[in-house]
């Protein structure tokens, strides 16, 4: 069994920030095709701000909930694009889901992931198939829950989440955007991957690497 404390959650956010930084140009290119070309910049600004804010926390006396709420606040303050409130809500919901726990057991991490995905969906009101990050986040969380309930380890469950996110992001190429900026394109959004779904794969991939 792998357990997750505040220090490991901080390492998770550091890993996400590094992965998003490395992916920034691709995400901007994807957003350039069906949006306004800023998605990589927005995500890098957001996770960079999270990394900086978490660096000044005293990890020994900070609970996971507080760390996640700090992440939410700094992400929201740093990002003006629509991904700002979406990820901020994800972290606030993740924080609420693990409230009172000093150490997260494997099942708690899956509960946190599930709450994050639900937060994104609640905040943006996007359904599956509307070509948004929800098309990666929701199947990822569902796959993680199914794997966890089938007795899989955290590592295996996050592997399943990542595979589902990748399939979901790929599937956005066949979707017509009906939410967010790219919905203005209508059918012209076809054949292009949604940038928010693409970055969700990067985020979930970094979580998988850093949480096991």
**Smaller CB separation from ligand ADP, 139 or 180:** 180
Sequence-distant (6+) residues with CB within 8 A of 71 are 13, 50, 53, 54, 91
**Smaller CB separation from ligand ADP, 5 or 31:** 31
Residues within window 69-88 making contact with ligand ADP, judged by CB under 6 A? 81-83, 86
Kindly state whether residue 194 participates in binding Mg ion, applying the rule CB under 5 A: no
Partner that binds at residue 82, options ligand ADP, Mg ion, none, CB closer than 5 to 8 Å by kind = ligand ADP
- Rounded Cα–Cα distance for residues 88 and 71 (Å): 7
Kindly state whether residue 23 participates in binding ligand ADP, applying the rule CB under 6 A: no
Instruction: Give the CA count within 13 Å in the CB-facing half-sphere of 60.
Output: 0
Q: Which stretch binds Mg ion (CB under 5 A): 22-30, 39-47, 121-129, 170-178?
A: 39-47
**Which residue, among 193, 145, 148, has the nearest Cα to 168 in the 3D structure?**
193
Sequence-distant (6+) residues with CB within 8 A of 188 are 34
Instruction: Give the CA count within 13 Å in the CB-facing half-sphere of 10.
Output: 18
In the list 36, 52, 149, 174, the residue contacting Mg ion (rule: CB under 5 A) is 36
Binding site for ligand ADP (CB under 6 A): 31, 35-36, 38-39, 42, 81-83, 86, 120, 124-126, 132-134, 179-181, 194-197
């Amino acid at each position: 069994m792998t357990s997750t404390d505040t220090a490991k959650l901080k390492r998770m956010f550091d890993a996400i920030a590094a992965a998003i930084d490395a992916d920034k140009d691709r995400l901007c290119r994807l957003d350039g095709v069906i949006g306004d070309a800023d998605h990589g910049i927005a995500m890098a600004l957001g996770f960079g701000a999270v990394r900086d804010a978490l660096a000044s926390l005293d990890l020994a006396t900070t609970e996971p909930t507080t760390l996640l709420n700090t992440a939410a606040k700094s992400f929201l303050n740093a990002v003006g694009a629509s991904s700002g409130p979406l990820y901020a809500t994800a972290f606030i919901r993740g924080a609420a889901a693990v409230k009172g726990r000093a150490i997260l057991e494997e099942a708690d991490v899956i509960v946190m992931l599930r709450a994050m995905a639900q937060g994104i969906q609640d905040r943006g009101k996007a359904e599956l198939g509307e070509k948004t990050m929800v098309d990666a986040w929701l199947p990822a969380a569902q796959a993680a829950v199914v794997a966890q309930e089938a007795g899989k380890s955290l590592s295996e469950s996050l592997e399943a989440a990542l595979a589902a996110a990748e399939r979901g992001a790929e599937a956005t190429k066949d979707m017509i955007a009906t939410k967010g900026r790219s919905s203005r394109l209508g059918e012209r959004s076809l054949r292009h991957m949604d940038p928010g779904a693409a970055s969700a794969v990067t985020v979930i991939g970094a979580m998988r690497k850093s949480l096991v």
